[in-house]
Structure 1
Amino acid sequence: MSLDFYTIDDFDLEDKTVLVRVDINSPVDPNTGLILDDTRIKLHAGTIKELSDKGAKTVILAHQSRPGKKDFTTLEQHARSLSKILNHEVGYIDDIFGSNARNAISRMQRGDIILLENVRFYSEEVLKREPRLQAETHMVKKLAPLADYFINDAFAAAHRSHASLVGFAFKLPSGAGRVMERELKALYNALSNVKKPCVYVLGGVKVDDSIMVMEHTLENGSADYVLTTGLVANIFLLGAGFDIGEYNKKFIETKGYWDYVKKAEELLKKFNGKIKIPVDLALFIGGKRVEFPVSKLPNEPIYDIGTETLKQYAEIIRSAETLFANGPAGVFEMEDFNIGTEDLLNAIASSPGFSIIGGGHLAAAANQMGLSGISHISSGGGASINMLAGEKLPVVEVLKQVALTYK
Structure 2
Amino acid sequence: MSGHKTLEDLFTAVGLEGLRVLIRADLNVPMQDGKVSDATRIERVAPTLKELAARGAKVIVLSHFGRPKGAPDEKYSLKPVADALGAHLGIETSFAADCIGETAARAIEAMKPGTVLVLENTRFHAGEENNDPGFSEALARNGNVYINDAFSCAHRAHASTEGITHFLPSYAGRAMEAELSALDAALGNPKRPVVAIVGGAKVSTKIALLGNLVKKVDALVIGGGMANTFLAAQGKKVGKSLCEPDLFDTARHILANARAAKCDIVLPIDVVIAREFKAGAETQTVAVDNVPEDAIILDVGAQTIAHLGERFQEAKTIVWNGPLGAFEVPPFDRGTTEAARIVAERSKRGELVSVAGGGDTVAALNEAGAADDFTYVSAAGGAFLEWMEGIELPGVAALSRR
Q: TM-score, normalised by structure 1?
A: 0.85
| Residue pairs, 1:307-318, within 5 angstroms | 307-318=302-313
The alignment status of 1:97 with 2:96, answered yes or no, reads no
Q: Which of 222, 229, 240 does residue 223 from structure 2 map onto? A: 229
Instruction: List per-residue Cα deviations over 1:209-248 (Å, max 9, x = no partner).
Output: 6432332232x3x312111112322332332333434562
In 2, distance between residues paired with 1:326 and 1:123? 33
Instruction: Report SS of the residue matched to 1:325.
Output: strand
The alignment status of 1:362 with 2:358, answered yes or no, reads no
Uncovered stretches (5+) of structure 1, i.e. residues with no partner: 128-133, 253-257, 403-407
Instruction: Report SS of the residue matched to 1:336.
Output: coil
In 1, distance between residues paired with 2:53 and 2:202? 38
- Partner residue in 1 for 2:234: 240
Counterpart contact for 2:271–2:299, Cα < 8 Å: no
State the shift of 1:18 in Å. Answer: 1.1
In 2, distance between residues paired with 1:176 and 1:209? 30
The 10-residue stretch of structure 1 (185-194 or 11-20) with the greater mean CA deviation from structure 2: 185-194
Counterpart contact for 2:225–2:242, Cα < 8 Å: no
Instruction: Report SS of the residue matched to 1:162.
Output: coil
> Which amino acid in 2 is paired with 1:157?
C
The alignment status of 1:343 with 2:341, answered yes or no, reads no
> Which amino acid in 2 is paired with 1:268?
L
Q: What count of residue pairs does the alignment treat as equivalent?
A: 382
The 10-residue stretch of structure 1 (44-53 or 260-269) with the greater mean CA deviation from structure 2: 260-269
Uncovered stretches (5+) of structure 2, i.e. residues with no partner: none
In 2, distance between residues paired with 1:209 and 1:79? 35
The alignment status of 1:88 with 2:86, answered yes or no, reads no
In 2, distance between residues paired with 1:137 and 1:48? 27
- Partner residue in 2 for 1:164: 160
In 2, distance between residues paired with 1:118 and 1:305? 44
Instruction: List per-residue Cα deviations over 1:122-142 (Å, max 9, x = no partner).
Output: 223223xxxxxx36132x222
- Partner residue in 1 for 2:149: 153
In 1, distance between residues paired with 2:202 and 2:147? 30
- Partner residue in 2 for 1:405: none
In 1, distance between residues paired with 2:166 and 2:194? 38
Counterpart contact for 1:238–1:261, Cα < 8 Å: yes
CA RMSD of aligned residues (A): 2.7
Instruction: List per-residue Cα deviations over 1:143-183 (Å, max 9, x = no partner).
Output: 21231010000011111111111111110111000000111
Q: Which of 176, 182, 205 does residue 178 from structure 2 map onto? A: 182
- Partner residue in 1 for 2:6: 7
| Residue pairs, 1:10-21, within 5 angstroms | 10-11=9-10, 12=14, 13-21=16-24
In 2, distance between residues paired with 1:233 and 1:67? 38
In 2, distance between residues paired with 1:206 and 1:164? 33
Instruction: Report SS of the residue matched to 1:92.
Output: strand
Instruction: Report SS of the residue matched to 2:192.
Output: coil
Q: Which of 25, 28, 39 does residue 25 from structure 1 map onto? A: 28
Instruction: List per-residue Cα deviations over 1:170-206 (Å, max 9, x = no partner).
Output: 1011100000011111222333433332211001246
The alignment status of 1:280 with 2:267, answered yes or no, reads no
Q: Percent identity?
A: 34
Aligned CA distance change for structure 1 residues 35 and 164 (closer, same or farther; 3 Å): same
Counterpart contact for 2:213–2:220, Cα < 8 Å: no
- Partner residue in 2 for 1:391: 391
- Partner residue in 2 for 1:62: 63
> Which amino acid in 2 is paired with 1:212?
A
In 2, distance between residues paired with 1:361 and 1:72? 26
Counterpart contact for 1:239–1:261, Cα < 8 Å: yes
Counterpart contact for 2:229–2:247, Cα < 8 Å: yes
The alignment status of 1:262 with 2:249, answered yes or no, reads yes
Instruction: List per-residue Cα deviations over 1:302-347 (Å, max 9, x = no partner).
Output: 4433333222222212221221111122332334232222111112
> Which amino acid in 2 is paired with 1:271?
A
> Which amino acid in 1 is paired with 2:356?
I
Instruction: Report SS of the residue matched to 2:117.
Output: strand
Instruction: List per-residue Cα deviations over 1:63-85 (Å, max 9, x = no partner).
Output: 223358xx972222211211111
- Partner residue in 2 for 1:41: 42
In 1, distance between residues paired with 2:301 and 2:65? 37
Counterpart contact for 1:282–1:306, Cα < 8 Å: no
Counterpart contact for 1:326–1:381, Cα < 8 Å: no
Counterpart contact for 2:86–2:93, Cα < 8 Å: yes
Aligned CA distance change for structure 1 residues 300 and 230 (closer, same or farther; 3 Å): same
Instruction: List per-residue Cα deviations over 1:11-59 (Å, max 9, x = no partner).
Output: 2322111110011222234xx3543211111111111111111111111
- Partner residue in 2 for 1:322: 317
Instruction: Report SS of the residue matched to 1:65.
Output: coil
In 2, distance between residues paired with 1:88 and 1:261? 56
> Which amino acid in 2 is paired with 1:149?
V
Counterpart contact for 1:212–1:389, Cα < 8 Å: yes
Aligned CA distance change for structure 1 residues 105 and 375 (closer, same or farther; 3 Å): same
The alignment status of 1:216 with 2:206, answered yes or no, reads no
Counterpart contact for 1:135–1:163, Cα < 8 Å: yes
In 2, distance between residues paired with 1:85 and 1:347? 33
Aligned CA distance change for structure 1 residues 288 and 231 (closer, same or farther; 3 Å): same
- Partner residue in 2 for 1:126: 129
Q: Which of 112, 115, 131 does residue 112 from structure 1 map onto? A: 115
Instruction: List per-residue Cα deviations over 1:275-303 (Å, max 9, x = no partner).
Output: 22223134445642423433314545544
